[in-house]
Structure 1
Amino acid sequence: MHLTLLNLCDESLVLSYNHGSAIHQLLALPSRPSTAKFPKSCAVTISLGGEKHIDWASVNIKLSGTHRASYKPVTVPEDCLWRIYLCKTSRKHYKLIVIPRRSLPSFLSDVPDDTLLSDCLLPGTHDTMAFYGWPFSQCQSITTPLDVQFQSGIRVLDIRLTPVKGRLIAYHGAYPQKTSFQDILISVHNFLTSPAGSSETIVMSIKQEAPSNVFSQLVHDEIKVGAGGWDMWFLESRIPKLGEVRGKVVMFSRFGNGDGWEGGLNGMGIHPTYWPDSAKGGFSWMCNDTLVRTNDWYHIPSFLSIPEKVALASGVLQPLPSDPPGRVLPISFFSASSFPLAAPQTVSQGFGWPKWGLGVEGVNIRMGRWALDRLSEVAEGEKREEPFLHGWTFMDYYEEPKNELVPLLVEFNFRGSKRLQYAKS
């Protein structure tokens, strides 16, 4: 068996293991892979390199099992400096990928102020408040209310509302989700005024779920009297820099035509010019001088389309060579469903035992593997250039499997040649 240690941290790491009566060590420099032969099963300790080794993770790795390529997060102590993922790249080759443990409640605090939000990779939830109506109306777990989502690193919200007796209530289609817009505003305000959240920003997509002539005016009026009031919102029709919107909500208005809003459409934040329904090939529109490249293909034929869905959703996050720097915003929906063979939970989480060849892998685990592959490119490519991925993502059941996808997406905010340019400026 062979094991490759890929160190994506700033400090050198040492991997130690026992084989017979001998102790072996493998040194991994930052952003460089190190490979060695390993016994089929052994205990592994990862330590900081240098004169003084500090043990932070001791894991038991059994290099056996399924012949299918797979990965899993390694269980480490809560105070561990890193997140560790074990990947099976072939029958006799495994890879340990070590990334820094970012603070998910406040990860944007470490991103420079002059970073455009279009150059960030912001994890988000599709139908953020859809906690009820399983199997087809529910899109998020009841155990992940807004405050949990914020602490988990979610920064893009998909809020869908319907007027009920003069008040806006969260709905998914015709199914009520039991939360008022005012309660949503309270949760958002509480986070953005907390010690961790004051350095963060929230992008809120607001969408009208049922026909109404008063919807746009109700959103306007409820924001005015809601928690934080107008001061909590960024309403300009452009993509801001992070420093402009720390502690604020960036409006993403998928409703209205500007009537009743100060400044009309120019006072409703980011506003799509059109939004075709479930366009498989994606579509683009302009927000001021920024091209917004969007993929929202959600009506897939069945769970058999999951691989194609992942390829299209992930592809949007990768810039084209012709993209002007800082002037393209990718928006990608990882969510999909169709009756009867593709409920949101089935699409996002898969079913059965896919690692044993009995079942289907869901979107989330496939996206996690895709993210790990992109992160690996930093050390495995000939030019050793870090991948630059950016955009706003919308996910169903984001916490499955095991809250491992969001930390991988967050890591891209600290990688890529453009990140390095920001860090030097």
Structure 2
Amino acid sequence: MSDRLLSSSRLRHAVAMLVLGLVAVTPSAFAAGRYYNDSGSIQTHHPNWMSWVPDSTSLAALSLPGTHDTMAYQSYGGSLTQTQSLALRKQLDAGIRALDIRCRHIADSFTIHHGVVYLHVNFDDVLRTSIQFLNANPSETLVMRVKKEHTEENVTRSFAATYEAYRNNPAYQPYLWTGRHVPTLREVRGKIVILDDFAGGTYGIPWGGLDLQDDWTVSSIFDIAGKWDKVRGHLTRTNTGSPSTLFVNFLSGASAFAHPFTVAGGGMGVRGVNDYAIDHLVAGQVQRAGILFMDFPGAGLIDAILALNFRLLSSTTWLPADFEVIFRNTAYTVGGNAEQRWHGIRNFLHNAAPGRSWHVLALKRSWGAWISHQGNFYQSDAMDDYTHIAYLTRSVTSVVGRSYLTDYVSGQVRSLSGNAAERAVTLHGRLSARFPFQRWSVVVKQAPGGLSNWAYSDYGRGAHLSSGDFTYAVQGHSASDGVYLHEHSNHEGNLIRLDGNVASLVGWGFNDMLSSITILGPYQTTMCEHQDYTGRCFSTSQSVGDVNAMPGGSWHDKVTSVVVTRTGLR
């Protein structure tokens, strides 16, 4: 069970939060459905995820989760012809944006089939549901493959002419995009983009012009790995292919000896294609996936595909709410000990949302943490006694020397008491009072410790030590801009922060103590030997590891007054 105490708004401000991990939580039943779902509901929800994708984004740049034989969500023809478990609206609400619609031309209208099997829905049903969804979520666009399926019966016109009749229907016409090129989102928000897979004219993007993998025959369960090899190969081509080309990749496959649910989900000790795919995506092997048509996709697999679209955002952009669900669901994919889980989460984050200062924790059983962050914060469900945490900070910069910090923390932990969470709160408070010019995160782990039970990001400068049954990890980050004076060389020892002139360091308790300087942000400083900026002086706008290297001779323990000038804006 976890409890968070927020000290201020999370929106772009520093936030301190207490995160407790004192009671092991039984893993959710969702763990089994991370890549495969045969239920009528699903534990993910992204009805308007395209709202945060820039208007200028090409459809070809997106990673789109799609469903193969989208409307085959009931077993009218048995397990060989059922490919989905969710009705269309539930698929769309979950984040699916690419639809595979197979139309039989009968009596000058379209019924929806999977091969010879009528799925008890018609093209009107598909269009009405899609339009209702778009009206509720006008930021979205749907990509719909329209394919001629099975035999014609009792028709007086061509398949294309019947499609044109649907397109010209006033109820549908405003929503059916008529372009033939690969559009930007600005062009097609609130509309359906047709992938035209039928003869008799061009009514959308031609199916034959796509870069396609649809080798659907999987002769037996022992050929599933071979099918995955083809999917993986096409993912590689998509990654390195032309940014203007629309890539389509079918994860689906079937035969009399390997039905769709088995190819997707596996069985008899054999992994399914969906299982291979989610591991590949979460491991950071893919940056652009194109359109992926899948059978029985689980929440984690849908989210692993959607996660790639965060790469389209600026690294300074606040990550939208969809990322919280995506983090929680994809965390089920990582396994192993804490260090392996840490690597797995870290690889996923740096691939999905690069260019940010990510901090990652993987913790098992009894622990407590007080975390300061300046951006998004995410915590997974508990699984196999592990909890995964990720958060963002403005930077990973710390100005407190590692040796000085370790000595300080070592002196503090001797007087700590209580459980892991209580110790984390107390130690965080002391660090923040002693070094208020930067942020601190503190994790306390009760025995047993070691990398098999916890792992964390060690950025900048931190301290890691044990005392009794407790192990402490302290991390400093997000140091404020300013000029820092250090007692010893190489930015070690006692320190003070200045952001304005000081005529005498006597009152600061730092007279004749300077040996090194850290400058963060647009500052320049002049250091003088005597009070009131007199005597010998030197100036610098860069950090200095040893002031004796500055012009004018020996400077160790000689500075008494300081001029600080701000030279610009951060």
TM tier relative to shorter chain: 0.5 to 0.7
Distance change in 2, residues 1:191/1:321 (3 Å): closer
Give the one of 201, 206, 223 matched to 2:141. Answer: 201
- 1:298 aligned to which of 211, 216, 234: 216
Partner of 1:363: 273
Superposed displacement of residue 406, structure 1: 0.4
Task: Tell me, yes or no, if the aligned pair for 2:158 and 2:200 is still in contact at 8 Å.
Answer: no
Q: CA deviation at 1:419?
A: 4.9
TM superposition outliers: structure 1 runs of 4+ over 3 Å: 43-51, 54-63, 72-75, 318-324, 418-424
| Whole-angstrom distance in 1 between the partners of 2:186 and 2:2 | 42
**Structure 1 segments unaligned to the other structure (5+ residues):** 1-42, 64-71, 76-84, 86-100, 259-264, 274-285, 287-291, 353-358, 378-386
Partner SS state of residue 101, structure 2: strand
- 1:238 maps to what in 2? 181
Partner of 2:110: 168
* Structure 1 residue 337 corresponds to structure 2 residue 254: yes
SS of the equivalent of 2:144 reads strand
Please state how far the C-alpha of 1:165 moved relative to its aligned partner.
Answer: 3.0
Aligned partner letter, 1:299: T
Contact 2:4 2:17 in 1 (8 A): no
Instruction: Classify 1:51/1:220 alpha carbon distance in 2 versus 1 (closer, same or farther; 3 Å).
Output: closer
Q: Provide the C-alpha distance between the structure 1 equivalents of 2:207 and 2:316, rounded to a whole number of angstroms.
A: 28
Indicate whether 1:155 and 2:100 are aligned. Answer: no
Q: Greater relative contact order: 1 or 2 (C-alpha under 8 angstroms, separation 6 or more)?
A: 1
Unaligned runs of 5+ in 2: 35-42, 319-570
Rounded Cα–Cα distance in structure 2 between residues aligned with 1:395 and 1:57: 37
Matched residue, 1:114: 56
Question: Which amino acid counterpart does residue 144 of structure 2 have in structure 1?
Answer: M
**Alignment RMSD:** 3.3
> How many residues end up aligned between the 2 structures?
297
DSSP 3-state at the match of 1:410: helix
Q: Is the 8 A contact 1:123 1:155 kept in 2?
A: yes
Q: Please give the alpha-carbon distance, in whole angstroms, between the structure 2 residues aligned to 1:419 and 1:312.
A: 30
Per-residue deviation, residues 38-67 of structure 1 (Å, max 9, x unmatched)? xxxxx888999965115499883799xxxx
Name 2:331's counterpart in structure 1. none
Matches of 1:330 and 1:204 in 2, distance apart?
14
Residue 363 to residue 224, structure 1, CA distance change in 2 (3 Å) = same
The yes-or-no answer on 1:396 pairing with 2:340 is no
Contact 1:44 1:60 in 2 (8 A): no
Report the Cα distance in structure 2 between the residues aligned to 1:348 and 1:205, rounded to whole angstroms: 21
Matched AA of 1:193: N
Asked whether 1:225 is paired with 2:169, we answer yes
Shift of 1:226: 6.5
Q: What fraction of aligned residue pairs are identical, expressed as a percent?
A: 29
Judge conservation of contact 1:59–1:74 (CA < 8 Å) in 2. Answer: no
Q: 1: CA distance between counterparts of 2:141 and 2:61? A: 14
List aligned pairs for 1:18-417, cutoff 5 A: 52-53=16-17, 55=19, 60=24, 104-131=46-73, 132=75, 133-141=77-85, 144-194=86-136, 197-212=137-152, 214-225=158-169, 227=171, 229-258=172-201, 265=202, 268-273=203-208, 286=209, 292-319=210-237, 323-324=241-242, 326-339=243-256, 341-352=257-268, 359-374=269-284, 387-399=286-298, 403-415=299-311
CA contact (8 A) 1:314 1:332 kept: no
Classify 1:412/1:320 alpha carbon distance in 2 versus 1 (closer, same or farther; 3 Å).
closer
Q: Which AA in structure 1 matches 2:142?
A: I
Question: After the TM superposition, which of the residue ranges 54-63 and 292-301 deviates more from structure 2?
Answer: 54-63
The TM-score, its normalising length taken from structure 1, stands at: 0.63
Compute the displacement of 1:105 (Å): 0.9
Distance 2:134 2:127 in 1: 10
Deviations 1:277-313 (A, max 9, x none): xxxxxxxxx3xxxxx3211010122111212212321
> Is the partner of 2:263 in helix, strand or coil?
helix
CA distance in 1: counterparts of 2:239 and 2:93, whole angstroms: 35
- The Cα shift of 1:246 comes to 0.6
How far does the alpha carbon of each residue in 1:125-146 deviate from its partner, in whole angstroms, 9 at most, with x for none? Answer: 00001133122111112xx111
For 1:398 and 1:182, how far apart are their aligned partners in 2? Answer: 25
Give 1:239 deviation, angstroms: 0.3
